[in-house]
């Protein structure tokens, strides 16, 4: 079945450091890929998405490129801020069953210190 694998956290960085959070997936067909962010005690917010191979999703300085050849969707940001501290979930959607069922990775906690 479909699955998403994320790097384990926590990822601890200093402010203005470069961020990469790795995400790889296994899926049949051509899923859409997402990064969601969850701040403490809150629900999930969509950060960015990509719906086909080679698409780049971007938002708030974060970027991720849909790489079909490596089945990856790594999240990057050039300069993190303390306010970026949160849990980041990579996810894919399964269109095969006719609805957008999200399959999530286990999440990666990011801690940014001043």
Cα 38 to Cα 20: distance, rounded to the nearest angstrom = 17
Site string for another protein, 21-60 (x = CB under 8 A): -----------x-x-x----xxxxxx--x-----------
C-beta neighbour count of 7 within 10 angstroms: 16
Whole-number Å distance between alpha carbons of 98 and 24 = 23
Minimum CB–partner distance for residue 12 and another protein (Å): 16
113 binds another protein (CB under 8 A): no
Contact positions vs another protein (CB under 8 A): 32, 34, 36, 41-46, 49, 89, 93, 95, 98-102, 104-107
């Amino acid at each position: 079945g479909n699955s998403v694998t994320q790097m384990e956290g926590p990822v601890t960085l200093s402010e203005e450091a470069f961020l990469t959070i790795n995400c790889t997936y296994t899926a049949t067909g051509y899923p859409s890929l997402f990064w969601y962010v969850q701040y403490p005690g809150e629900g999930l917010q969509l950060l960015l998405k990509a719906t086909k191979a080679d698409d780049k999703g971007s938002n708030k300085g974060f970027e991720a490129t849909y790489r079909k050849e490596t089945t990856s969707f790594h999240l990057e940001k050039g300069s993190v801020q303390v306010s970026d501290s949160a849990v980041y979930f990579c996810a894919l959607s399964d269109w095969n069953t006719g609805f957008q069922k999200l399959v999530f990775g286990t999440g990666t906690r990011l801690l940014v210190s001043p």
